[in-house]
């Protein structure tokens, strides 16, 4: 009886933790949309999984020397055998923007699979009227394993004017994370192509996800819609 009660207690506590994280996730999405200078929301769904992502940038001083970046995402696989790859993450980074193209700062990240980690990140940003490139290398300390890990994120977007406020769109986001800088842990490549009208983007989505030391690859092809909010 004690064993059954203990297992039930663990299940309840685990469920409560997941519920709290989900509530925090939606609170961050809503609150950042209200106060942030820039917020991007994306919903993508395909044959393999469904994703929801929120990204926001909020300056904390008039000169925009310092800013808070918040990333929140949730991915849910459709097939039962892939439930182990379901993932939720929330990351907040405080950046010092010492030039228009380079920023540095610490962050706190929670992932439903890996737990909490502290990070230090560099952000390199190049942007023109039709092209943008963001490169973010990071060093992360994982609380669970006590590993010091390396991570790299690359974001690329290209637009081509069509008519009035319509543009053709091609974007990609690439992530790779390595335990102790030498053992593969997690990678993904997200490709988006379609149309952009004012602050709304939509079209085809292709996600390629890799998990583990000997990477297991999951692929999902579908559609996406992305909305950008700019508070001036």
Exposure of 112 in the CB half-sphere (CA atoms within 13 A): 23
Domains of the chain: 2-230 (2.40.160.40)
Give yes or no for a contact between 74 and 25, defined as CB atoms under 8 angstroms apart. Answer: yes
Q: Which neighbouring-strand residues pair with 26?
A: none
Among candidates 4, 34, 42, 8, which has minimal Cα distance to 171? 42
Give yes or no for a contact between 117 and 143, defined as CB atoms under 8 angstroms apart. Answer: yes
Above 80 in pLDDT, residue 17? Answer: no
- In angstroms, rounded to a whole number, what is the distance separating the alpha carbons of residues 99 and 124? 10
Q: What is the pLDDT of residues 104-115, one digit of tens each?
A: 999 999 999 889
- In angstroms, rounded to a whole number, what is the distance separating the alpha carbons of residues 105 and 119? 8
Q: Identify the burial level of 20 via C-beta atoms within 10 angstroms of its C-beta, where 0-12 means exposed, 13-18 middle and 19 or more buried.
A: exposed
Instruction: Name the DSSP letter for residue 161.
Output: E
pLDDT at 112: 92
Longest dimension (CA), the chain: 70
Q: What is the pLDDT of residues 73-97, one digit of tens each?
A: 999 999 999 999 999 999 999 999 9
pLDDT band at 6 (very low <50, low <70, confident <90, very high): very low
Above 80 in pLDDT, residue 9? Answer: no
Instruction: Name the DSSP letter for residue 48.
Output: S
- In angstroms, rounded to a whole number, what is the distance separating the alpha carbons of residues 25 and 88? 9
- Per-residue buried b or exposed e for 162-187, using 16+ beta carbons within 10 Å of the residue's own CB: eeeeebebebebbbbbbbeeeeebbb
Q: How far is CA 217 from CA 54, 125, 181, 189, in A?
A: 24, 29, 20, 11
Q: Identify the burial level of 59 via C-beta atoms within 10 angstroms of its C-beta, where 0-12 means exposed, 13-18 middle and 19 or more buried.
A: middle
Above 50 in pLDDT, residue 3? Answer: no
């Amino acid at each position: 009886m004690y064993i059954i009660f203990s297992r039930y207690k663990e299940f309840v506590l685990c469920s409560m933790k997941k519920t709290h994280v989900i509530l925090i996730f939606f609170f961050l999405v809503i609150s950042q949309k209200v106060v942030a200078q820039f917020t991007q929301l994306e919903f993508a769904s395909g044959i393999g999984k469904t994703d929801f992502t929120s990204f926001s940038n909020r300056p904390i001083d008039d000169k925009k020397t310092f800013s808070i970046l918040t990333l929140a995402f949730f991915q849910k696989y459709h097939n039962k055998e892939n439930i182990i790859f379901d993932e939720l993450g929330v990351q907040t980074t405080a950046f010092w923007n010492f030039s228009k193209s380079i920023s540095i700062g610490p962050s706190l990240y929670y992932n439903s699979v890996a737990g909490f980690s502290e990070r230090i990140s560099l952000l390199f940003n190049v942007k023109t009227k039709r092209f943008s490139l963001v490169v973010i290398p990071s060093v992360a300390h994982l609380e669970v394993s006590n590993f010091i890990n390396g991570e790299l994120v690359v974001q690329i977007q290209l637009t081509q004017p069509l008519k009035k406020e319509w543009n053709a769109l091609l974007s990609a986001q690439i992530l790779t994370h390595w335990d102790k800088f030498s053992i593969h842990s997690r990678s993904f490549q997200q490709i988006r192509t379609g149309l952009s009208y004012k602050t709304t983007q939509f079209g085809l989505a292709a996600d390629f996800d890799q998990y583990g030391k000997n990477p297991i690859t999951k692929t999902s092809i579908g559609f996406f819609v992305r909305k950008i909010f700019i508070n001036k």
